Amino acid sequence: MSLIGRVIATEKVPTTIDDFCFWTNKDLILNPFDVVKVGHIKGSSTFAVVEEISHITDSASFLSNFISNDFGDVEAEESTLRIGMNYVKAKVVGNTHNIFIPVQSNAKVFLASKDEVIAALGLDNIKNPLVCGYLEMYEGNSDKEKITLPVHVDSKFLIGPEGAHLNISGISGLAAKTSYAMFLLKAIQDKCIEDVDSEDVAFVVFNVKGRDLLALDESNDFDGDSSEEERTKEFYKMLGLSTNPFRQVTYLYPYSTDKRSNTYADKDLLFKQKKLNKAFEYKFEYDTDKDNIDLMFSNIDDSNQTMESIINYIIDNQGGFGAVHDWTDFIEKLEDRCEAGASGEKGKEISVLSWRKFTRMIKKSINNNYLFSNVDTSKQQIRIAQKIQDIQKNDVFVIDVAKLDSDMQAFVFGYAVRELYNLQLGEKDTSNGRKPPSRIIIFIDELNKFASTETPKDSPILRQILDIAERGRSLGIILFGAEQFKSAIHNRVTGNCSTFAYGRTNAIELSKGDYKYIPSVYKNMMTRLKQGEYIIQNPIFRSLLNVRFPKPLYKQFK
């Protein structure tokens, strides 16, 4: 590749085993994350990633520049041009002979070839490769020098067992975080479909915004732009992926009535999906789902464990609750407990005030809410738990919660996660007698709603998420979470993620401790990343990578 400069080593700025500087032509366009190659001793080559690019002149001070322009005349022409140059700071990432003594002064610096970039970044010997995007390098140079190449991650470091869990953060714009998560899920599904010996993986996706994920198995029409469609599909082919949308998709919608719709899906879409037996409406029945009522209190600080005591009292069928079989009778039984002087043999230690608080919060969720009613299977109504027991390899379950209020979103999310967790623990059997998939990936946007630093410590949903973050890798439950600000997420969740994707964010967020180990130039880049661009961090990569991904192939709603 092209010779672009030579290494600089001065008394005050020496080369080290970690980094070095080199001068280069002022007209050469380089960018952070570009890879360069330096000739080194014993015929070896050292590879480095560009971090900082600076320009200096022989001017002693700003004042000297001001004076040389006729004391600040912006129209003046310098009588003597300043001597200037660009110099680049680069971080060492490898050497062909594993020689890591500092590169020598005046050593030649080259642009790396495509194969050299792959070797430099450690992408040449990845076991269990799974595509996670592509690199574009040496932009602004000739097409001959420009490089575009797929980036693969070791799937065992993304979905286990070596490492697990993905966190996506950033304010990148409309559906950017969701689109990247779905790109990765598509790559995983394609790999599982094509490779019969690969892991059994299934997916449970929560739709939390509008209609974003309610047509994953329908093709994107690209607004009728055939050239954009062709260009996007070429990227998928280059990455070794199919050009089809998701397969084996089932949609679970909250039950709606003629008077009240609980989903943003229009009637035509819902009718079509139901006709194809791909869509069902979920409800919660008292007899089978009462054990999960603690999830209605996920955002309540219960430091005295009063609510927990009441829940245990109910689940243990004390005080006549064993005779209750529907939500209406349940509310009536609670109201009896709220009357002055009401107490039970073993429940008298729970005050009436506590029962009233509990009842008020339960009624807020259940009263006039048709989600809490009996299931009619003849009308394609189901329980989420029942459907989860059917999950098999490559299945994609989309659980719609977008139009529910925040408390109900938390309840549905916690309920589904608990059922999945119990399924993988072997506490529940699949309905068809077959084993569940060895890996189930859960994707949720707006993770901060359920696992933020401000979530009460005794929240049952937070406890579940922490359990998945810390034990899920071995159990086969993998969490792909997304949020605007990583610093808002509980540190035990982010601390157990093996992979991070950073999208565009703001300077205030980047000043937080979560980003202190990221070089300043990369943090500055995070403030101006475009849609479709992410900075990826994974244990197998020798450096942070600035990857891109193509537009989704599934239907996009306006």
Q: What is the three-state SS of 465-479?
A: HHHHHHHHHHHCEEE
Tokens standing for residue 203 = 């997916």
Residue 348 pLDDT: 57
CA–CA distance, 280 with 254 (Å, rounded to integer): 8
Residue 540 pLDDT: 87
Tokens standing for residue 216 = 């994953």
CA–CA distance, 236 with 550 (Å, rounded to integer): 7
Q: Coil, helix or strand for 231?
A: helix
Domain ranges in the chain? 3-120, 152-284+373-498+533-548, 288-366
Q: What is the CATH number of domain 152-284+373-498+533-548?
A: 3.40.50
Q: Is the peptide bond before 161 cis (omega within 30 degrees of 0)?
A: yes
CB burial class (10 A; 0-12, 13-18, 19+) of residue 520? exposed
What single letter denotes the amino acid at residue 323? A
90, 84 Cβ separation under 8 angstroms: no
The tens-digit pLDDT sequence of the chain (558 residues) is 689 999 999 999 999 999 999 999 888 888 888 999 999 999 999 999 998 899 888 888 888 777 777 677 777 776 667 788 899 999 999 999 999 899 999 999 999 988 999 988 888 888 889 999 999 888 766 666 788 899 999 999 999 888 899 999 998 665 589 999 999 999 999 998 887 777 789 999 999 988 999 999 999 998 888 999 999 999 999 999 999 999 999 999 999 888 888 999 999 999 999 999 999 999 999 888 888 888 888 777 766 677 888 888 888 888 888 888 889 888 888 888 888 665 554 445 778 888 888 888 888 888 888 899 888 888 899 999 989 988 999 999 999 999 998 888 989 999 999 999 888 887 666 656 678 888 999 999 989 988 988 888 878 888 889 999 998 888 899 999 999 999 999 999 999 999 999 999 988 999 998 898 888 888 888 988 888 889 999 988 888 899 999 999 999 987
Residue 108 pLDDT: 94
CA–CA distance, 390 with 91 (Å, rounded to integer): 50
Q: pTM value?
A: 0.88
Residue 141 pLDDT: 66
Residue 280 pLDDT: 95
Residue 535 pLDDT: 92
Residue 2 pLDDT: 85
Under 8 Å CB-to-CB from 331, ≥6 apart: which residues? 359, 362, 363, 366, 367
